[in-house]
Amino acid sequence: MDRNVKTLLEKARATATYAAEKATQVADAASRMAGDMAMQTKLNLQVFDMNSEIDAVYKEIGRIVYLVHTGEGTDEGLDDRFAQIDERLAKVAELKAAIADCRTTVICPQCGKECGRDDAYCVRCGHKLS
């Protein structure tokens, strides 16, 4: 085989291998991201549900306070409701922390560039990340 042709074929093969590896990496990243997205969606729904429950308890507190105001009720059950809200707000904070953990990117606090979560330094400004 002509040497030039041989070199050309070797180059083409190397490029094909590189492209295949790159495609696999992109597919892996995409599937990882899809998993993250599914988890984030699930967690976001839980935050939404928890906030709905908190709103319902706020409403009950409002009713109790109003009945105390009109003299038709007592403040019995208020402390329980406060505790329920405290508990649910703590759960919301936990869920939000879990959502942040799902993210594959972080925002550079220095310049606002979106960087990879595992990047040690910002890709734009070089600021040390975490």
Residues near Zn ion (CB under 5 A)? 108, 110-111, 113, 122, 124-125, 127
Asked if 50 contacts 91 with a C-beta cutoff of 8 angstroms, the reply is yes
Residue 62 to residue 68: CA distance in whole angstroms: 10
Q: Please say which residue, 43 or 122, places its beta carbon nearer to Zn ion.
A: 122
Question: Using the 8-state DSSP alphabet, how is residue 65 labeled?
Answer: H
Least distance in Å: CB of 87 to Zn ion? Answer: 38
Cα Rg, the chain, nearest whole Å: 27
Q: Please say which residue, 94 or 119, places its beta carbon nearer to Zn ion.
A: 119
Least distance in Å: CB of 37 to Zn ion? Answer: 25
Least distance in Å: CB of 25 to Zn ion? Answer: 24
